[in-house]
Each structure stands twice: as C-alpha cells, then as structure tokens.
C-alpha cells in the first residue's frame, strides 16, 4: 500500500496520550525510538494541553511513523487563563501546524499502485453536544452536579461569540468532504464519542443511566460532555467500516449496526495503575493490515 511514495502496511490507532505527564512523555519517546515507517498512525485527540507540547509530540511521531493523521481533542484546544487567544484560534493554529509537519487532518486515500483495494482514512472534526442540544448523548444521573464544576473545559475552553454551538460548528467542517468513488474500506476516527452505547462497558440495559458501580466521581455525569450523535450520522453517510474514538479513557471494541467501533487510549498513569495495565505494554492498536 502506497501513499506519497511511502509504503504503508499497517494502520494503527490510539488516543489520549496526554504527554503533559512525564510518564506518558517517556512512553512516547520509547515508542518513537522504534521504526514505524511502514505504519500509518491515527491519533484521536488529547495529545497535550499546550501548543508547544502538541508540536513536540507531533514532530516526534512524524519522525517515526510513515504517516500520521490527527484530530484535536478538548485538551488540545485548552487556552490558559490570561492568554489572549481562544479555542478556535488554537484549532486553526493546530491545523497549520499539522500542515507544516505533513500530518493529515482531512480525508486521504491510501492505495496500492494497482489502485485496488483502496483504503480511505477519514478524520472527523467534532465537539460534544450539551444536554438540550439535538445531538447530545446526555443521560440523566442521580445526584449529578449539572453545573459541571469538576470539568476543566468550563475554564480552559473559550469560544468566540460567533460559535454558539461548537458541536454543530465542528461537524459542519466535515460537510465538504468529497470521497469520490466508494472505497471498500473506510476508516474514520474522532476524538469524541459517536454513540451513547459506547459509554458503557456492557450492552446498555433499558432504563440505564450514566453511572456505574465503583463510580469515582458520583457527581460528574460524563454523558453531558461525551460526544455527539452527529458524528455517527457522518460515519454512516461516509460508509465507515471501522470507527475509532477517544476522550472517555475507556477501551471499547464493539460492532453496532455494521460498523466496528474501537477506542484505545494511553490515558492517565493513575488510570493504568488502577486497571493493572503496565505502561510499557500499551502500543497503538492495529486497525488494518495489508
Ligand atoms: Fe483525554
Ligand atoms: Fe478528551
């Protein structure tokens, strides 16, 4: 499989590297010390929460991987208190950064010289829909704090006045995608969740609300900020075979109505500790091989 002269034999995916954290940064260094030139990496957001660190991480990844695709997550769009910029300006800074590093954030085809079979990589820009918005994944949770006082985006994400609905704004950026003729394999990815079911480790029972046994944050309702049904509409419209998402820091592997949904993250060191996952065993997940 070939794209721009680069032989790509595998497509791998991961999200939520959060390389602001030393242990995660060291993990990235070890990963990039290996040669991944025959691999295409899909990075599904939350690389870091400062543009300098995002730049350092992306630069390191392109030095190791044959090709890198990236969509920003909420942490990538954080702005510091006192910074003049807003999260939309940061988004465009990141797009420019990706372009300068030859990292793709728009649909691209990978194909053999014979042209068949082709593979389409489809990054989906997105944001979460809030409760009350049409595409929200919200489910009520008893005892929740509706003000989301625990959610740092409330302080660190700042939209300009012209963006009244960020979920709609980002979905609309994907509307101009032109995939041309139908491809046998379309692999899409987004940072945010496309469907409610994916919030749950098990198939959701009727009437279930968004909480689970051993809830470490009983007042926080993740479904308020999880994702958008609009992402799934795009997945269906473009005929994705596989869709990868991030954001939840929970791994998922599930088939729903003909689409294979996967989530695979590095997450926070304390999350790996609690789950008994050794950091060195985490590797980007293979989602396609030639
Ligand atoms: Fe994250
Ligand atoms: Fe996130």
Question: What pLDDT digit, counting tens, does each position of 47-61 carry?
Answer: 999 999 999 999 999
Largest CA distance in the chain: 58
Q: Is residue 204 part of a domain?
A: no
The reported pLDDT for the residue numbered 2 is: 43
The residue with greater pLDDT, 111 or 66, is: 66
State the pLDDT confidence band at 83, using cuts at 50, 70 and 90: confident
Give the pLDDT band of residue 179 (cuts 50, 70, 90): low
Give the per-residue pLDDT at 255: 96
Least trusted range by pLDDT, from 83-92, 142-151, 197-206, 213-222: 197-206
Residue 22 lies in a domain: yes
- Residue 207 within a domain: no
For residue 181, how far is its CA from the centre of ligand 2 (angstroms)?
33
Instruction: Decide if pLDDT at 4 tops 50.
Output: no
pTM: 0.93
Question: What is the rounded average pLDDT of the residues 7-36?
Answer: 96
Distance from the alpha carbon of residue 14 to the mean position of ligand 1, in angstroms: 11
**Gap from CA of 84 to ligand 2 centroid (Å):** 23
Mean pLDDT for all residues in the chain? 90
User: DSSP character for 124?
Assistant: -
Radius of gyration, alpha carbons of the chain = 18
Cα(160)–Cα(155) distance, rounded to whole angstroms? 14
Q: How far is the CA of 50 from the centre of ligand 1 (A)?
A: 14
Supply the pLDDT for residue 109. 85
Domain count, the chain: 1
**pLDDT at residue 204 greater than cutoff 70:** no
What's the confidence (pLDDT) of residue 216? 81
Torsion of CA 214, 156, 172, 12, to 10 degrees: -60
Q: What is the pLDDT of residues 138-167, one digit of tens each?
A: 999 999 999 999 899 999 999 999 999 999
Task: Give the environment of ion ligand 1: residues with CB less than 5 A.
Answer: 16, 46
Tell me whether residue 118 is in a domain.
yes
Stretch 120-136: mean pLDDT, rounded? 96
Looking at the CA of 247, which ligand is closest?
Answer: 2
The predicted model gives 94-117 an average pLDDT of 85
224 DSSP 8-state letter: G
Q: What is the percent of the chain with per-residue pLDDT over 70, rounded to a whole number?
A: 88
Alpha carbons 159 and 143: distance in angstroms, whole number: 29
CA of 46 to the centre of ligand 2 (A): 6
CA gap 26, 6 in Å, rounded: 27
Rounded to the nearest angstrom, the distance between the alpha carbon of 147 and the centre of ligand 1 is 20
State the pairing for strand pair 108-111/242-245: unpaired
Q: Establish if 212 belongs to a structural domain.
A: no
**In the predicted structure, residue 175 carries a pLDDT above the cut 90:** no
Note down the domain range covering 171. 2-198+218-289
Establish if 143 belongs to a structural domain. yes
- Mean pLDDT of all residues in 275-280: 94
Question: What is the CA(44)–ligand 1 centre distance, in A?
Answer: 10
Helices 22-33 and 51-64 meet at what angle, rounded to 10?
Answer: 20
Tens of pLDDT, residues 207-242: 555 455 567 888 999 999 999 999 999 999 999 999
CA 290 / ligand 2 centre spacing (Å): 30
Please indicate, yes or no, if residue 208 is contained in any of the structural domains. no
> Does 190 fall in a domain?
yes
Ligand 2 centroid vs 113 CA: distance in angstroms?
A: 37
Question: Domain containing 169 — which CATH number?
Answer: 3.60.21.10
Arithmetic mean of pLDDT, 256-277: 96
């Amino acid at each position: 499989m070939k794209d721009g002269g680069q032989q790509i034999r595998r497509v791998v995916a991961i999200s939520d590297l959060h390389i602001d954290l030393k242990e995660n940064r060291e993990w990235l260094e070890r990963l990039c010390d290996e040669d991944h030139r025959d691999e295409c990496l899909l990075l599904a957001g939350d690389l870091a929460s400062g543009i300098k660190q995002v730049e350092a991480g992306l630069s390191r990844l392109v030095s190791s991987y044959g090709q890198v695709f990236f969509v920003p997550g909420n942490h990538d769009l954080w702005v510091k208190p006192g910074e003049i910029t807003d999260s939309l300006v940061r988004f465009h800074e990141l797009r420019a950064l990706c372009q300068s590093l030859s990292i793709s954030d728009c649909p691209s085809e990978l194909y053999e010289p014979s042209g068949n079979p082709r593979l389409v990589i489809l990054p989906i820009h997105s944001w979460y829909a809030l409760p009350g918005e049409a595409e929200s994944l919200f489910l009520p949770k008893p005892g929740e704090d509706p003000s989301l006082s625990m959610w740092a985006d409330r302080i660190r994400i700042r939209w300009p006045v012209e963006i009244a609905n960020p979920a709609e704004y980002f979905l609309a950026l994907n509307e101009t995608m032109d995939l041309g003729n139908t491809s046998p394999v379309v692999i899409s990815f987004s940072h945010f969740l496309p469907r409610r079911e994916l919030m749950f480790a098990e198939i959701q029972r009727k009437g279930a609300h968004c909480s689970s046994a051993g809830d470490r944050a009983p007042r926080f309702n993740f479904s308020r900020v999880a994702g958008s049904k609009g992402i799934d509409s795009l997945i269906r419209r473009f005929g994705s075979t596989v869709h990868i998402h991030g954001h939840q820091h929970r791994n998922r592997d599930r088939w729903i109505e003909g689409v294979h949904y996967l989530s695979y993250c590095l997450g926070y060191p304390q999350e790996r500790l609690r789950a008994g996952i050794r950091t060195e065993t985490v590797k980007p997940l293979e989602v396609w091989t030639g």
